């Protein structure tokens, strides 16, 4: 055998090369066609892309050097840092002037690239009820990371007590910190598992954290991931984004701890029932803790033992794509809450202004023009402290002055004149565009549309009709789209203080359109009056969870019985004919919805649209403070 030096190769010189490697317990070889003028960093990529063995087993290139004063040679490891400066032609050998060989050896040291190859750190992941799932395809390429060796403090012995489905899923998916982002992704899985009865149980584990890696600002989307997003946007099909998460994962953890963890039953400290990392025994019955701990000295035996700071895969896209996704998926429920309020009516014929218990982050979000928020509210009469009036009913409007937080205007419409002290249940929600794409990981088929109608009081009319533009994928569904509405005024003074703005929706059967009918009633003088200046917002529920919206039928009665739900519904009347009814108010109690002051030709053609968002998965996610990210 003799060594032949390649000194004068052309730029692209592909040769058949025998790659010899001794990376496991046995040695073997495989043929590759490689460009011998490529740097070793490129050769590494070629080997890993064409043979999964090289992805799973960290290796180093080696070169033969003569040992001084002997006829022997020894293999010297080439570091990862050197690979970009060394060409393949400099380290290969030719045997008998014919066979070209390349020798790979086990890496004696490691860097973040080795660990990334070993554990797929830049792949997306998905939470499941039984543990984390790594995506089939890579969404990002890690360009660099901050790697910190943990040392002796990485050894920990802990007892874990599982008291809920959420806690179980967190632990199974290697989340041990409880920040809001973690709960976002855990809720994606537990939403369908809440019916399961999770029994309390506990166990102990021993873990050895070896290194932590932080990679938030070092992830670059792959061209395949970007193309999948662009194709989804061009397709106009929202469900394509769900397919993307199935292919590329829901999120990437931006802080990862590698090492090993052994799980033991609480009842028997010596009984190991699960291992992460370390050399795996053929059977856990043969588990030897000392041997397992010793095996963790080799970085090849490390695995992910904890994930922190997960970020949704869409959140890490370039700004232009993120904005397109936000616009494409449309407005969502960003926040929703139910408040119990004591209501005391002392000034007959005039409303009460309700200050909302609004968190600071919601106030900031509403003021942000990019989220383009709308407020919807509903009020339920829980009953009086002194008497239970079947005639009184409440109406809710939004008062939103420029630069101020929105407030609610609550009117109590009475047939008689009496002071009231009662308890109300008020529901209000904020609908707008997400700025944080961490939350758009489910409910891709949800479609909400906001339609604004501006009314100028110069018209001097008591009612106003307008047809809505509700484009839908299935035109036949146009007549059945549930809508709810809310009037919004920007000031309250003597000119509009006692005016109650009512509304209902109607079906223009001839034109196959849905319209709004708004009217004004003076609660002080008790007669219909001219409409003031206001904006009317319609929430059209094009698609949502079936149990969260629909139509309730009066069935030839002026009321609809409810199930005494503690959650107030958002409701609006719907007439199946444009000319079927005049001004209508609704009385919403815990156990029924009733029509009041109705000028109605046929009650058989009157229905009630409802929206009950409180069980929505998107709603539960949106309750977290972290949904607002500037």
Full-model pTM? 0.74
* DSSP letter, residue 114: H
| CATH (domain of 81) | 2.40.240.130
Q: What total of structural domains would you count in the chain? A: 4
Assess whether 97 and 122 both reside in one domain. Answer: no
* DSSP letter, residue 600: B
Inform me whether the pLDDT recorded for 166 exceeds 90. no
Write down which residue in 418, 435, 452 finishes a domain.
Answer: 435
Quick check: 140 and 251 in contact, CB under 8 A? no
Binned at pLDDT 50, 70 and 90, residue 163 comes out as confident
Is residue 309 in some structural domain?
yes
Binned at pLDDT 50, 70 and 90, residue 605 comes out as low
Inform me whether the pLDDT recorded for 12 exceeds 60. yes
**Domain hosting residue 24, numbered range:** 14-109
Per residue in 536-559, pLDDT tens?
Answer: 999 998 877 777 777 777 777 777
615 vs 118: CA distance, rounded Å: 41
Assess whether 274 and 343 both reside in one domain. Answer: no
Quick check: 209 and 257 in contact, CB under 8 A? yes
Is residue 627 in some structural domain?
no
Assess whether 458 and 558 both reside in one domain. Answer: yes
Assess whether 102 and 117 both reside in one domain. Answer: no
β-strand pairing of 549-553 with 303-312: unpaired
Is residue 4 in some structural domain?
no
338 vs 428: CA distance, rounded Å: 7
Per residue in 259-297, pLDDT tens?
Answer: 999 988 877 777 888 899 999 988 888 889 899 999 999
Inform me whether the pLDDT recorded for 224 exceeds 90. yes
Phi, psi of 593 (to 5 degrees): -120, 130
Highest mean pLDDT among 98-107, 154-163, 233-242, 502-511: 233-242
Write down which residue in 249, 282, 315 finishes a domain.
Answer: 315
Sign of the torsion formed by the C-alpha atoms of 248, 251, 253 and 258: negative
Assess whether 177 and 51 both reside in one domain. Answer: no
Residue 56 has which token pair?
């799973």
What pLDDT is attached to residue 4? 44
With tokens 């600071």, the residue in question is 360
Assess whether 418 and 486 both reside in one domain. Answer: no
What pLDDT is attached to residue 512? 73
Assess whether 311 and 181 both reside in one domain. Answer: yes
Query: Across all residues in the chain, what is the average pLDDT?
Result: 81
Assess whether 101 and 234 both reside in one domain. Answer: no
Assess whether 253 and 146 both reside in one domain. Answer: yes
Per residue in 251-262, pLDDT tens?
Answer: 899 999 999 999
Q: What mean pLDDT do residues 166-187 have?
A: 68
DSSP 521-545: EETTTTEE----SEEEEEEEEEE--
* Collapsed DSSP state (helix, strand, coil) of residue 30: strand
484 vs 513: CA distance, rounded Å: 16
Quick check: 318 and 257 in contact, CB under 8 A? no
- Helix (H) or strand (E) segment spanning residue 467: strand 463-467
Per residue in 13-60, pLDDT tens?
Answer: 888 899 988 765 667 788 999 999 999 999 999 998 888 888 777 788
Percent of the chain with pLDDT over 90: 28
Assess whether 154 and 253 both reside in one domain. Answer: yes
Sign of the torsion formed by the C-alpha atoms of 432, 435, 439 and 441: positive
Among 229-233, 302-306, 562-566, where is mean pLDDT lowest? Answer: 562-566
Quick check: 613 and 429 in contact, CB under 8 A? yes
With tokens 């537990």, the residue in question is 190
Assess whether 90 and 203 both reside in one domain. Answer: no
Inform me whether the pLDDT recorded for 600 exceeds 50. no
């Amino acid at each position: 055998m003799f060594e032949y030096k390649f000194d004068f190769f052309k730029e692209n010189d592909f040769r058949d090369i025998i790659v010899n490697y001794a990376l496991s317990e046995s040695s073997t070889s495989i043929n590759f066609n490689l460009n011998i003028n490529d740097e070793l960093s490129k050769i590494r990529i070629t080997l890993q892309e064409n043979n999964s063995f090289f992805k799973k087993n960290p290796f180093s290139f080696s070169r033969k050097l003569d040992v001084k004063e002997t006829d022997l040679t020894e293999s010297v490891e080439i570091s990862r840092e050197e690979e970009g400066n060394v060409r393949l032609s400099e380290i290969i050998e030719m045997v008998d002037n014919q066979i070209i060989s390349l020798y790979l050896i086990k890496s004696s040291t490691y860097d973040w690239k080795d660990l990334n190859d070993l554990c797929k750190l830049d792949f997306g992941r998905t939470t499941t009820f039984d543990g984390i799932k790594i995506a089939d395809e890579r969404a990002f390429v890690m360009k660099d990371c901050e790697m910190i060796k943990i040392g002796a403090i990485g050894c920990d012995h802990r007892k874990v007590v599982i008291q809920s489905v959420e806690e179980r899923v967190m632990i199974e998916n290697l989340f041990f910190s409880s920040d809001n982002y973690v709960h976002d992704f855990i809720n994606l899985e537990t939403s369908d598992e809440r019916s399961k009865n999770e029994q309390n149980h506990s166990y102990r584990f021993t873990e050895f954290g070896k290194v932590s890696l932080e990679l938030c600002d070092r992830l670059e989307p792959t061209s395949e991931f970007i193309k999948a997003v662009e194709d989804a946007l061009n397709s106009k099909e929202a469900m394509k984004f769900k397919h993307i998460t199935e292919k590329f994962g829901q999120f990437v953890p931006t802080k990862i701890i590698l090492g090993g963890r052994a799980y033991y039953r609480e009842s028997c400290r010596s009984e190991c029932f699960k291992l992460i990392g370390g050399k795996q025994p053929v059977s856990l019955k043969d588990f030897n803790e000392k041997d397992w701990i010793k095996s963790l000295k080799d970085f090849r035996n490390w695995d992910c033992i904890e994930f922190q700071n997960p970020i949704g895969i869409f959140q890490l896209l370039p700004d232009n794509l993120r904005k397109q996704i936000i616009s494409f998926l449309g407005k969502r429920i960003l926040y929703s809450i139910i408040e119990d309020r004591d209501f005391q009516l002392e000034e007959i014929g005039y409303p009460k202004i309700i200050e909302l218990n609004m968190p600071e982050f919601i106030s900031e979000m509403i003021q942000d023009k990019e989220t383009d928020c709308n407020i919807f509210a509903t009020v339920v009469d829980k009953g009086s402290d002194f008497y239970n009036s079947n005639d009184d009913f409440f109406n809710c409007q939004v008062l939103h002055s420029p630069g101020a937080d929105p407030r609610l205007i609550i009117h109590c419409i009475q047939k008689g004149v009496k002071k009231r002290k009662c308890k109300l249940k008020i529901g209000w929600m904020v609908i707008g565009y997400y700025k944080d794409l961490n939350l758009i990981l489910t409910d891709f088929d949800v479609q909400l549309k906001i339609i604004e109608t501006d009314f100028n009081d110069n018209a001097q009319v008591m009612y106003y009709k307008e047809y809505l533009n509700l484009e839908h994928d299935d035109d036949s569904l146009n007549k059945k789209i549930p809508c709810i509405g809310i009037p919004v005024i920007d000031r309250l003074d003597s000119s509009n203080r006692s005016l109650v703005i009512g509304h209902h929706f109607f079906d223009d059967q001839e034109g196959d359109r849905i319209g709004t009918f708004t009217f004004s009633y003076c609660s002080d003088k008790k007669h219909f009056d001219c409409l003031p200046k206001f904006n009317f917002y319609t929430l059209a529920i094009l698609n949502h969870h079936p149990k969260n919206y629909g139509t309730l039928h009066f069935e030839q009665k002026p009321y609809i019985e409810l199930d005494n739900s503690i959650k107030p519904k958002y409701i609006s009347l719907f007439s199946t004919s444009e000319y079927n009814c005049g001004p209508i108010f609704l009385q919403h109690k815990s156990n029924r919805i009733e029509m009041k002051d109705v000028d109605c030709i046929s009650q058989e053609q009157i229905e009630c649209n409802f929206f009950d968002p409180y069980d929505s998965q998107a709603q539960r996610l949106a309750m977290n403070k972290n949904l607002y990210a500037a």
